[in-house]
Amino acid sequence: MFNDPDYLRRAQYADARHLDARARLHRKYGRDDWYPWAASQISWSEGDRVLEVGCGPGWFWTAAADILPARLALTLTDLSSGMVEAACARAAQAGPDWTVEGRALDAARLPFADASFDVVMAFHMLYHVPDPARAIAELARVLRPGGVALITTNGRGHLRELVQIETSVWPGAAEAGAAELFGLENGRDLLERAFGHVALHRHHDDLDCTDPVDVAAYLRSSPPGIDATADEARALAAEIGRVFQDGGGRLRIGKEAGAFVCAAPRRVI
């Protein structure tokens, strides 16, 4: 279901409820500097024309506003119109002098002219696209020569401890993870077909969780946990409890996330 557009639009990202349950774990137990860190990986200029594909609820623009230019022209897009609406509202409030427009669209078919943007962004979303290579080609097509693309994702070991809990209840749950579709390990190969320069920057952070309820909320926010039966929910709670007990009341979770900074668009894959 990672890249089923109908499921994503209807069940996962119609609004930010499920996404927020997952983000809460990172905000509460990690460094909580992801968006400012990501923004600092590239150079920004006043008046940059910026396209964000898969904007979600627009958390980036609120969190990174203090280090971004006072004037930007933002185009915020997502498969979900609800997400676009939320993102535009947040961005407009975060940057009073930013121009903000939004569109619900498919990342593989961008309705913009070649070389339309100075910066293109795709945060943790290319593994949701049925054909990541096609979406990457579109990002390269609409980026101007001299522009920069900022593309983030996770590695195969991301949140491994949560995956282990999940697979103890649902043994087949981790057969095809998001990182297999587009991750830190295979992303460069895909990106280099579309960009002449690709650099990977890793974000170093771990989670030190102290409340089993937060872990359960994370695992119940997406498949298979979101559709758990009563028996499965009890089994999940029991497994989380066991893991916390074994850890002396804590659960330490490793993260593997990073940003690809891409330049010199090739236009054609």
The pTM of this model reads 0.91
pLDDT grade, residue 28 (50/70/90)? very high
Tens digits of residue pLDDT in 189-228: 999 999 999 999 999 999 999 999 999 999 999 889 999 9
Tens digits of residue pLDDT in 49-69: 999 999 999 999 999 999 999
The H-assigned helical ranges of the chain are 5-7, 17-29, 34-39, 59-63, 81-94, 132-142, 160-169, 178-181, 187-192, 212-219, 230-246
Residue type at 199?
A
Domain boundaries, the chain: 5-157+175-204+256-265
Using the Cα atoms of residue 23, residue 25, residue 31 and residue 32 in order, give the sign of their dihedral. Answer: positive
Assign domain 5-157+175-204+256-265 to its CATH architecture: 3-Layer(aba) Sandwich (3.40)
